[in-house]
Amino acid sequence: MSAVHLDHEGPLAILRLDNPAKLNSLTPEMLSGLEAHCNALDKDDALRCVLLTAEGNRAFCTGADINAWGGLPPANFARRWVRDGHRILDRLARLSKPTIAVLNGHAFGGGLELATACDIRVMAPNATLALPETGVGIVPGWSGTQRLMRLLPEPVVKEMALFGRRLTAGRALALGFVAEVADDPLSAARALAGRLLATSPRATEVAKYMIHAAAGEDAPAMVEALASGMIAASADKQEGVAAFRAKRKPNFSGA
């Protein structure tokens, strides 16, 4: 059975793709599990960082399971598979907690898009990245031509999406797409997460919102979240709520 498991190690959460027989390709059940876990993680105030990894060493994720979408009618393919997948990857990208993709093996298609939805990436030396969709008659559908374009130069994305060229770990590091290449990417990711524990949880969360707003990652929501957090700390907000509950006119001080 394919699944996405969630384990906790104190303030660290580990999401693990578990479909090694199919190189961790994504099934509808895995996507639903990922979305449910993301919803739970965002409500966990004790959590500081999320690592996304996968079973086995051959592949992090080779994309969407073709058996899940290959027979869908065009309307359902667009409406359900593509839009639902996009929504779920957006949910991962917009977690309030920092996320690290641990690329223990190849990341192709939807697997690369999944890694792209994380804040940073750590990659094994023998792993490669690819957008092979045109080879099976489709196009990237879960942000491969959108979010990935903010992280890689346009000619590189074209090499991958149009010409099927794979991106090696060394080149991905040189382009800044991955933070580190390591023989043991999970240990390297744990070390990066450990540095986060010395920082302020609220400052880290707000910094992520600010960066996402600048990068265009759901910018309107990020701006409103930042503004709402600021105004929620004001005396006027406290007075407004108190006045509403007491059914009286508020006396705002501007403090």
Query: Which residues does the annotation mark as catalytic?
Result: 113, 133
Sign (positive/negative) of CA torsion 207, 104, 178, 223? negative
For residues 148 and 154, give the distance between their C-alpha atoms in angstroms, rounded to a whole number.
9
Distance of CA 42 to the CA centre of its chain: 13
Backbone angles phi, psi at 130, to 5 degrees: -155, 155
Residue 176: closest CA among 141, 148, 209: 148
Q: Is 64 exposed, middle or buried (0-12, 13-18, 19+ CB in 10 A)?
A: buried
In contact, 105 and 60? CB cutoff 8 Å: yes
The Cβ of residue 59 has, within 10 Å, a number of other Cβ atoms equal to 25
For residues 7 and 13, give the distance between their C-alpha atoms in angstroms, rounded to a whole number.
6
3-state SS class at 2:
coil
